[in-house]
Amino acid sequence: MYYKVLIVEDDPMVSMINEQYVNRNKAFRVVEKCKDGKSALEYLENNDVDLIVLDVYMPLMDGFETLRQIRKNKKTVDIIMVTAANDRASLEEALHLGVVDYLVKPFTYDRFRIALDKYVSHLAALKDLDTLNQKNIDFIIENSHKKSEELYPKGIQEKTMQIILDEMKKNPSRWTTGDEIAERIGLTGVTVRKYLNYLTEKGILLSEIDYETGGRPCMRYRLSK
Domain termination site, one of 50, 73, 108: 108
> Are residues 104 and 18 located together in one domain of the fold?
yes
> Are residues 169 and 103 located together in one domain of the fold?
no
In a domain, 87, yes or no: yes
Q: Is the pLDDT assigned to residue 139 strictly greater than 70?
A: no
In tens, the pLDDT along 178-213 reads 999 999 999 898 899 999 988 888 788 899 988 877
> Are residues 94 and 177 located together in one domain of the fold?
no
In a domain, 137, yes or no: no
In a domain, 175, yes or no: yes
Say what the pTM is: 0.60
> Are residues 90 and 167 located together in one domain of the fold?
no
Q: Is the pLDDT assigned to residue 10 strictly greater than 80?
A: yes
Helix (H/G/I), strand (E/B), else coil: 78:
strand
Total number of domains in the chain: 2
Q: Which runs of consecutive H residues, i.e. helices, occur in the chain?
A: 12-23, 37-46, 63-72, 88-96, 109-126, 134-144, 158-169, 178-185, 189-201
pLDDT for the residue numbered 37: 93
Residue 95 to residue 106: CA distance in whole angstroms? 20
> Are residues 7 and 98 located together in one domain of the fold?
yes
In a domain, 8, yes or no: yes
Q: Are 218 and 210 in contact (CB under 8 A)?
A: yes
Q: Which domain holds residue 215?
A: 158-223
The rounded mean pLDDT for the chain is: 84
pLDDT band with cut points at 50, 70 and 90 for residue 148? very low
In a domain, 131, yes or no: no
